[in-house]
Amino acid sequence: MTTRRSLFALVASSLLLGACATAPQGADQPPIVFAHGNGDSASIWQSTVWRFESNGWPRERLHAIDLPYPLARDDNSKAQPGRTSTDDHMAYLKAEVDKVLKATGAKQVVLVANSRGGNAVRNYIQNGGGDKTVSHAVLGGTPNHGVWATKGFREGNEFSGTGPFLTALNAPKNAAGDEVTGPVKWMTIRSDNNDKFAQPDGLWIGAKGTPTNVTFEGPALKGATNAVLPRVDHRETSFSPAAFETTYRFITGRAPTTLVPTPQAPVVLNGKITGLGLVPTDPATGNYANNLPLPGAQLMVYATDPATGERKGAAVHSKTVGADGLWGPFTAQAGVPHEFVISAPGYATTHIYRSPFPRSSELIHLRAERIAAADKDAKSTVTFTRPRGYFDAQRDKMAFDSKALPGVPPAGAGVSSSKIKVMEDGVRAIPAEFNGEKIVGRTWPAAENRLVVLELTY
């Protein structure tokens, strides 16, 4: 039985400990399978994979799954086009684990999950045979006791703490009342108070002032090692340097040598171009999320000037993607930012600006977008997005077009993107900065059915 204990991990102490650590080598490095959260994709693990690689983990032993339909059903028991049930999710994870075991020859894997991915991990280990194929399970920000826990309120949803799915997972497994299934070694990672889905008030689920009956401790599980990270947001429970350090130490028993991805040359990039499906991620925008490839989409890549966002010459890569949706491989210029331009029938021409890539990756997934109906009056629309975390006005140093980020509240970390509707004509530079990472894009005309995304890596 794993005893429950609390860890309080700080990045500063992690760096001190990491200075004298040595990464495990060779066969001691088990395959790791990463499971993303609700509405996300494998690309969200990009920087985490870099950190493992930078600490000596073989790239072929790091596998991020890409659930084709990543959104949960409104009611888990009722079929819903473009969404997955908990059984669907578990079956996909099980199949991916089987592939990794076969490819590596390993007997067991480590599962590392964020948010909803942890539901699939728990279901697989408890009900799908994963107790035999998994050695360690790490759950970052998983709402193990629900996003809400109110009798009679949306109990068919898998995120209901009083619903049948979580009630069954949390049922005591032994006389000690442990909520985790042995002999797997379990860790949960949670925020002390800044996770939007572990809040006593219903603000972030559209019910401000209504108790959720869930506390900041909601992601913790009896029988697991339960780590607490100060001030991290929901996604940072998995994707922050502190979360990586905590995860690495739990798997290996030692600190990593570095928390920063080390530079690599050459930098070879690849990924999948996806589109928008049937089920709205946000009905207000009209945009829809899935992880299916978008065959026929065209991609052009340009090196850009870091100060102005202007293109430095002709395209450095171009491709019309096939059935697999893969847009690479592409060898990027080290230390140079790039603009990725996606064109596809039924979509806006999507200009995605990224800061320089320090290492190679096959997880640079790109999504074609559509202009929202509410933005039709703008001369240009520019979205500043942080896929691996949220914006916190009290914690982060950030600016968008040299101003505060529109739509980001003065307190709390509940928003991961900010949009500016540019109302003047012409194309100009538009900068964005977050805790030292800076991206400069251009305000392409919406009248030409173009939109702009400035996407953070960290």
Q: 10-residue block means of pLDDT along the chain (458 residues)?
A: 37 32 55 98 98 98 98 97 97 98 98 98 98 98 98 97 98 97 97 98 91 98 98 98 98 98 97 79 55 97 98 98 98 96 97 98 97 95 98 98 97 96 96 98 98 98
pLDDT for 205 equals: 87
pLDDT for 288 equals: 60
pLDDT for 175 equals: 97
pLDDT for 28 equals: 74
Identify the CA nearest to 141 among candidates 99, 108, 189, 175. Answer: 189
**Order of strands, sheet of 317-320, starting from the edge strand that comes earlier in the sequence:** 317-320, 298-303, 338-343, 349-354, 450-455, 380-385, 417-422
The domain 267-455 is classified under which CATH number: 1.10.3430.10, 2.60.40.2190, 3.90.550.10, 2.60.120.560? 2.60.40.2190
The pair of structure tokens assigned to 2 is 């794993």
pLDDT for 20 equals: 31
Q: Is 346 exposed, middle or buried (0-12, 13-18, 19+ CB in 10 A)?
A: exposed
The CATH architecture assigned to 5-252 reads 3-Layer(aba) Sandwich (3.40)
Q: What is d(CA 134, CA 183) in angstroms, rounded to the nearest whole number?
A: 9
The pair of structure tokens assigned to 200 is 């006593």
Q: Is 288 exposed, middle or buried (0-12, 13-18, 19+ CB in 10 A)?
A: middle
Q: What stretches of 105-201 show up as alpha helix (H) in DSSP?
A: 116-127, 130-133, 164-169
> Where are the strands (E) in 84-195, listed by range?
109-114, 134-140, 185-191
All structural domains of the chain with their residue ranges: 5-252, 267-455
pLDDT for 396 equals: 98
Predicted TM-score (pTM) of the model is 0.93
pLDDT for 278 equals: 53
